[in-house]
C-alpha cells in the first residue's frame, strides 16, 4: 500500500485517500456538510485512519484497493440523490471504474450512481437501504427543525448517537463540543441533505439494479431498529419488499 495518505480535490470534490489498487469510492451521508473532507486538518487525519483501515482490510482479503473518501463540494446545490450522483459521475470520469461504498444517505447516492453508470463494478450499502423507514424520516425531520432553529448542539449530539454506541460514544462525545460553539454552520447544505434523504425512494426501480450489491447492517443504536432488517429478496442482494428500508439517519 501507499506509504502516506493523500488529500486534495477530484472533479471539484474534496477527498482523502489511501492504498494501492483499483478505487473503492466511499460516499458519505447527510452529515457530510458538517465535516467534509478538506475542511479540518485534524478531521482529514481521522479520515486518513478510516481509509487506512479499509485499505488494510481489502489487502488482507486479497483484493487491494485504493480507498477514496470523497465529500460533496461545499458550494453544490444538488437537491436530489440523482443530482448528487451526477457530481460523482464526474469523479468517475477521473478515477475510472470503481467499487462503491455508500454510508447511510451516501447509500442512496450510490444506488443512483450504480443505477445509471456501467463504471460501477459493485455497490455496498453500509447502514443504508432503499429508503428511510417512518422512524428514520421522523428523526431527520427533527434534525431539520433543530438546524432551522439554530440548535446545533442537538444536531451534533444526535449525529454522533446515530453512528456510535456504548464506550465509543462516550469516548468521542468531547470531540463535538467545539463545533457546538461555532457561529457559522452549513445550515442550507445540511438541511438540503436531510431533504434529499427524506424524499429518496428506490423501491420502484430497485429490482432493475444488476450490479453486484451488498447490504451491511450494524448493532442497534438509538436511531436503528434491528427488527426492521430482513434477508435480501433479490439476486442483487438488496431487498425489494420494503423490509430492508430500515432507519438510516446519518
What CA–CA distance (Å, rounded) separates 89 from 54? Answer: 22
Helix 81-95 vs helix 105-116: angle between axes, to the nearest 10 degrees?
A: 60
1, part of any domain:
no
Reported as a pLDDT band with limits 50, 70 and 90, residue 175 is low
Q: Check residue 46 and give its pLDDT.
A: 87
Give dist(CA 62, CA 220) in Å, integer.
Answer: 30
Asked whether residue 233 carries a pLDDT value surpassing 80, the answer given is no
Q: Domain for residue 114, yes or no? A: yes
Least confident of 39-53, 112-126, 232-246: 232-246
DSSP collapsed to 3 states, the chain: CCCCCEEEEECCEEEEEEECCCEEEEECCCCCCCCCCCCCHHHHHHHHHHHHHHHHHHHHCCCCCEEEEECCCCCCCCCCHHHHHHHHHHHHHHHCCEEEEEECHHHHHHHHHHHHCCCEEEEEEECCCCECCHHHHHHHHHHHHHHHCCCHHHHHHHHHHHHCCHHHHHHHHHHHHHHHCCCCCCHHHHHHHHHHHHHCECCCCHHHCCCCEEEECCCCCCCCCHHHCCCCCCCCCCCCCCCCCCCCCC
Whether residue 222 contacts residue 162, with contact meaning beta carbons closer than 8 Å, is answered with yes
**Residue 58 forms part of a structural domain:** yes
The whole domain housing 79 covers 6-228
Which is more confidently placed, 242 or 56?
56
Residue 246 lies in a domain: no
Q: How high is the pLDDT of residue 250?
A: 40
The answer to whether residue 136 sits within a structural domain is yes
Lowest average pLDDT, out of 30-39, 53-62, 83-92, 230-239, goes to: 230-239
The domain total for the chain is 1
In a domain, 28, yes or no: yes
Between residues 232 and 191, which one has the greater pLDDT? Answer: 191
Q: Is the pLDDT of residue 38 over 90?
A: yes
Report yes or no on 244 lying in a domain: no
Contact between 17 and 68 under an 8 Å Cβ cutoff? The reply is: yes
Percent of the chain predicted with pLDDT > 90: 60
What mean pLDDT comes out for the span 222-235? 41
Q: How far apart are CA 47 and CA 137, in angstroms?
A: 28
- pLDDT value at residue 1: 56
Minimum mean pLDDT range among 4-18, 90-104, 220-234, 236-250: 236-250
| 168 or 150: which leads in pLDDT | 150
Give the span between the Cα atoms of 88 and 104, in whole angstroms: 16
pLDDT at residue 93 greater than cutoff 50:
yes
Q: What's the average model confidence in pLDDT over 125-152?
A: 93
Whether residue 250 is contained in a domain is answered as no
CATH of the domain at 63: 3.40.50.1820
Sheet holding 13-19, edge to edge: 6-10, 13-19, 66-70, 23-27, 98-103, 120-126, 213-216
What's the CA gap between 162 and 237, in Å, rounded? 24
Chain segment 109-131, per-residue pLDDT in tens? 999 999 989 999 999 999 899 99
Partnered with residue 19 across adjacent β-strands are 66
Amino acid at each position: 500500500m501507499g506509504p502516506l495518505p493523500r488529500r486534495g480535490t477530484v472533479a471539484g470534490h474534496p477527498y482523502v485517500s489511501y492504498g494501492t489498487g483499483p478505487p473503492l469510492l466511499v460516499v458519505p451521508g447527510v452529515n457530510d456538510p458538517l465535516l467534509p473532507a478538506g475542511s479540518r486538518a485534524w478531521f482529514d487525519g481521522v479520515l486518513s485512519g478510516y481509509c487506512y483501515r479499509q485499505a488494510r482490510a481489502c489487502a488482507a482479503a486479497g483484493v487491494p484497493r485504493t480507498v477514496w473518501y470523497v465529500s460533496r463540494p461545499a458550494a453544490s446545490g444538488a437537491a436530489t440523490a440523482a443530482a448528487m450522483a451526477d457530481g460523482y459521475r464526474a469523479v468517475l470520469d477521473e478515477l475510472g471504474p470503481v467499487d462503491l461504498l455508500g454510508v447511510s444517505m451516501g447509500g442512496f447516492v450510490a444506488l443512483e450512481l450504480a443505477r445509471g453508470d456501467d463504471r460501477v463494478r459493485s455497490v455496498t450499502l453500509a447502514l443504508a437501504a432503499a429508503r428511510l423507514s417512518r422512524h428514520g424520516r421522523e428523526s431527520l425531520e427533527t434534525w431539520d427543525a433543530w438546524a432551522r432553529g439554530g440548535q446545533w448542539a442537538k444536531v451534533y449530539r444526535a449525529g454522533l448517537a446515530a453512528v456510535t454506541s456504548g464506550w465509543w460514544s462516550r469516548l468521542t462525545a468531547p470531540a463535538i463540543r467545539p463545533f457546538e460553539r461555532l457561529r457559522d454552520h452549513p445550515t442550507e447544505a445540511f438541511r438540503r441533505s436531510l431533504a434529499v434523504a427524506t424524499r429518496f425512494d428506490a423501491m420502484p426501480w430497485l429490482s432493475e439494479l444488476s450490479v453486484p450489491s451488498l447490504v451491511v447492517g450494524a448493532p442497534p443504536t438509538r436511531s436503528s431498529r434491528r427488527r426492521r432488517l430482513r434477508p435480501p429478496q433479490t439476486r442483487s442482494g438488496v431487498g425489494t419488499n420494503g423490509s430492508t428500508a430500515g432507519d438510516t439517519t446519518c
